Structure 1
Amino acid sequence: MSGRVKGKTLIARDEGDDVDGVLIKLYGEETNGAVSIIEQLFEPGLLLPPHIHQNDVWLHVHEGEMHARVGEEVVRATAGCWVLKPRRIPHTMWNAGDEPARITELYTPGGFELFFRDFADRLLQGPVTLDELNHLGEPHGIRFFDDWIPDLKAAYGLRVVGE
């Protein structure tokens, strides 16, 4: 954990564990499970497969823009916007812009950040199928599905993370 001490007051801009482009800024274990935080660049044309999980996710866009579908609602979030992706509500996000988006996500409760380690390890072997994503996600309380993927790919010219 980069030598951070539990309860540390400041997390510096360049501090955190880089897990294949996802910077884990704060682990759930450092907050007694209350919250965890990641930061990342989200590449143009990239779609996160739709999914459901057991925690709330707060997405903040620092630079660029992101789209999100939460249930039936689609939003376009520009720099400075926050998007809530509630637990147990199907959702996804994508970057339809021409530039990378720099984002932060807060997970409540914490712990979901550990999924990124498992995903990064698996990506080293090549493309990841939806079945494999679900296998990786099971211990972290996340389930992926493909119902929206064809329409979103066609509408925005996207590729799915892990393809």
Structure 2
Amino acid sequence: MHIPAGQGRAVWLNGDVYSVKIGHEESAGSLAVLEASVPPGGGPPLHDHRHEDEAFYLLEGELEIHADGETYQVKAGDFVFVPRGTVHGFRNTGLHTAKQLLLFTPGGFERFFLEAGKHAVAGVNIPPFDPADNPQAMQVAEKYGSYQV
């Protein structure tokens, strides 16, 4: 399987854009990989995943990642692993958009992004986070075993 650069099912969620590179269907359930573009100030609230481990590999920019009571100042090339059940979240504290790969094992959590997000449109700016979207996103997250704290 080959997914060219800039391709993959893409959605806007919480002011960020997430592109699914591979999901549970394509990986026989073993893996999901998403590319995330996170503008300054962007990132999800603290949450956990009951069914998946999550890993972050930062490609560009800088992020502040919180995991299990620790705070990491992450730069391009850094990797962070978060075991399932660990409270975590991230925020772009820099001046420029950060790009990262999110890896979930097993696969399946990509369905949260696809269901809770809005279809991303090429050439259109990412809409800012709208708190009115949060209740629906939280319901979808709980459906897939993720809980905001």
Amino acid at match of 1:49: P
SS at 2:25's partner residue? helix
Instruction: List per-residue Cα deviations over 1:3-52 (Å, max 9, x = no partner).
Output: xxxxx2x2221221122221111111111110011002101012311001
User: What is residue 77 of structure 1 aligned with on the other side?
Assistant: 74
Distance in 2, Cα, partners of 1:128 & 1:111: 26
**Structure with the largest fraction of helix:** 1
CA distance 1:50–1:37, change in 2 (3 Å): same
User: What is residue 8 of structure 2 aligned with on the other side?
Assistant: 16
Match of 1:94 among 87, 91, 94: 91
Distance in 1, Cα, partners of 2:99 & 2:133: 26
SS at 1:44's partner residue? coil
User: What is residue 34 of structure 2 aligned with on the other side?
Assistant: 38
Q: Give the deviation of 1:129 after TM superposition.
A: 6.0
Match of 1:137 among 131, 136, 141: 141
Aligned length: 135
Of all paired residues, the percent bearing the same amino acid is: 29
8 Å CA contact retained: 1:133, 1:144:
no
8 Å CA contact retained: 2:32, 2:109:
yes
Q: Tell me which stretches of 4 or more aligned residues in structure 1 moved more than 2 Å.
A: 126-134
Q: Give the deviation of 1:64 after TM superposition.
A: 0.2
Q: Which runs of 5+ in 1 are unaligned?
A: 1-7, 146-163
8 Å CA contact retained: 2:116, 2:136:
no
Distance in 2, Cα, partners of 1:34 & 1:134: 24
Distance in 1, Cα, partners of 2:69 & 2:133: 25
CA distance 1:129–1:16, change in 2 (3 Å): closer
TM-score of the aligned structures, taking structure 1 as reference length: 0.76
The answer on 1:61 being equivalent to 2:46 is: no
Whose relative contact order is higher, 1 or 2, with alpha carbons under 8 Å and at least 6 apart? Answer: 2
SS at 2:40's partner residue? coil
Distance in 1, Cα, partners of 2:113 & 2:133: 16
TM-score of the aligned structures, taking structure 2 as reference length: 0.83
